[in-house]
Amino acid sequence: MTDILFVKPVLPRAGALVLPLAEGFTLDGLAKQADEATGGAISRGLEAAGFKGKKGQATTLWAPGGHLSRVVAVGLGAPGGGMGAAEAAGGAALPLIASEVEATVAAESLPAEEAAGLALALRLRGYRFDRYRTKESAEDKPKLVRVTIAVPDVAAAKAAHAPLSAIADGVFLTRDLVSEPPNVLYPAEMAERCRGLEKLGVTVEVLGPAEMEKLGFGALLGVAQGSAREARMVVMQWKGAADDAQPVAFIGKGVTFDTGGISIKPAGGMEDMKYDMAGAGTVIGLMAALAGRKAKVNAVGLVGLVENMPSHNAQRPGDVVTTCSGQTVEVINTDAEGRLVLADVLWYAQHRFKPRFMVDLATLTGAIVVALGHEHAGMFSNDDTLATQLSGAGQAVGEKVWRMPLGEAYDKALKSDIADMKNVGGRPGGSITAAQFLQRFIDTKDGAMPWAHLDIAGTAWASKDGATVPKGATAFGVRLLDRLVAEHYEG
Ligand code: BES
Ligand code: MN
Ligand code: ZN
């Protein structure tokens, strides 16, 4: 784990020196000192490398003189690029310094917030899940233990970095959970890991099958019944505001492995379905982030944890289950299980907590990947204000959402001949009919209930490195929802 330190500018004696530079830069401060100390090797090197400070551009100058083993220049793009540019530069720098033990970033010309943002990006990009690598050579392992960020105002940079550091911790928790293999991370184990949030001041309640049976969670338990692993629901509460202040609520799909059940999935790529708990993993990391930075909000996080397996005891296509709302569902396809889990948890969350809004996250449909690829999560909402707030927060942190439609005509596809609804609506608009299904478990009988559903099937896992997201579990949604809360629901 890399430590981040903010200090007054002092030329480092060893390791790497990172220079974040905007287009049209002139070397000043530490960069200028280093250039002079190396007899102009840095300015000559940057010139020779064609380094212009373009956004995302990165160049390494090896052993330019003195004791520095390398200088890494990273582009900030056009001057005034703000947080986005600072994050892009931090993310681009990390792979180029990962094999150093120490690095110093000459961030004197960046505002404190951007220096902190650059540090956040370094940490986020440096994430690795290596718990199960026993044979990696020391040479191949990243060595970076300390990054020193040189800034003019140390106190301001530290203050800006403190909440970001808590957010990074939340992101890492989510990435760890999502990366864990499904034999290790099953519902009871995932619930156990939620208990870890207690040390941050989060209240954690774990419910087992008997308790959920009493609550009438027929849909969630129907999914779980094929598995030897017991289901869990975890309720996490963070109280950062007045005791009686209405909370905001986040609900996550936590299918620790989705075989499809009796409607079994094809073998190819089925291992990916270990990340079918990413919605729940994101809610857990978000709660850690909010508590970690002591957000001035009351927030509840609820996750429904099950494993979807085929077995002699598994639910069958054609089964009818009764949800805790009292509505019945004909299970046409046992692979449309996420919505069954969420149906019970959404209804329960709303009626127990009467929240200001509910946002659910779920790797719900392959159809959303077809529609939006891996660039945007699908957003479905019954509330224009909440939808606008989510779009803005997503833009700000680089976790983008794209609003999809809801409507009566789509809802009709869920009509069942035997029950109140069926759990699939056919191939056309598959992610929309899934969202329509969820909306049937948002109760507007006693007035509006702002709700948004984020289908993160295409964004929860990355197959290639991004600026602040190494390939693998992304934790998409932690930064987005933290930002939503910070911008609109605190104080
Ligand atoms: N967990 C899957 C959706 C998914 C697909 C997540 C790809 C991540 C990547 C979900 O439970 C599922 O199986 N959905 C079905 C629904 C269908 C049976 C109506 C799907 O998308 O095919
Ligand atoms: Mn499924
Ligand atoms: Zn699933």
Neighbours of 380 (CB within 10 A): 25
Residue 199: active-site member: no
Residue 339: active-site member: yes
Give the model's pLDDT for residue 67: 85
> Does the beta carbon of 366 lie inside 6 Å of ligand 1?
yes
Q: Is 258 annotated as a binding residue?
A: yes
Please give the biggest Cα pair distance in the chain. Answer: 83
Determine the Cα angle at 184 with ends 178 and 186, to 5°. Answer: 75
Give the model's pLDDT for residue 377: 99
Which of 256, 259, 275, 365, when mutated, tests ligand 1's pocket best, judged by the most ligand atoms within 8 Å of its CB? 365
Determine the Cα angle at 402 with ends 397 and 406, to 5°. Answer: 140
**In this structure, are residues 246 and 356 in contact, taking their beta carbons and an 8 Å threshold?**
yes
> Does the beta carbon of 399 lie inside 6 Å of ligand 1?
no
Give the model's pLDDT for residue 28: 94
Give the model's pLDDT for residue 466: 96
For the CA of 308, the nearest atom of ligand 1: 11
Could you list the pLDDT tens digit for every one of the 491 residues in the chain?
689 999 999 999 889 999 999 999 999 999 999 999 999 999 999 999 999 999 989 999 999 988 899 999 999 999 999 999 999 999 999 999 999 999 999 999 999 999 999 999 999 999 999 999 999 998 889 999 999 999 999 999 999 999 999 999 999 999 999 999 999 999 999 999 999 999 999 999 999 999 999 999 999 999 999 999 999 999 999 999 999 999 999 999 999 999 999 999 999 999 999 999 999 999 999 999 999 999 999 999 999 999 999 999 999 999 999 999 999 999 999 999 999 999 999 999 999 999 999 999 999 999 999 999 999 999 999 999 999 999 999 999 999 999 999 999 999 999 999 999 999 999 999 999 999 999 999 999 999 999 999 999 999 999 999 999 999 999 999 999 999 999 999 98
DSSP symbol at 470: -
- In 208-355, DSSP assigns E strands to 232-239, 248-258, 298-308, 320-322, 328-330
CA distance 39 to 53: 22
**In this structure, are residues 90 and 117 in contact, taking their beta carbons and an 8 Å threshold?**
yes
For the CA of 337, the nearest atom of ligand 1: 11
**In this structure, are residues 490 and 297 in contact, taking their beta carbons and an 8 Å threshold?**
yes
Tracing tokens 């220096």 back to the chain, one arrives at 115
Which of 330, 335, 342, when mutated, tests ligand 1's pocket best, judged by the most ligand atoms within 8 Å of its CB? 335
Q: How far apart are the first and last CA of the chain?
A: 33
- Give per-residue burial for 12-45: e unless 16+ CB within 10 Å, then b: beebbbbbbbbeebebebbbebbbebbeebbbeb
Tracing tokens 């083993």 back to the chain, one arrives at 69
Structure tokens at 215: 């609550």
Catalytic residue, candidates 70, 158, 339, 440: 339
Pairing of strands 16-22, 102-106: parallel
Give the model's pLDDT for residue 286: 99
DSSP symbol at 216: T
Give the model's pLDDT for residue 1: 66
For the CA of 363, the nearest atom of ligand 1: 6
**Which residue puts its alpha carbon closest to atom 14 of ligand 1?**
365
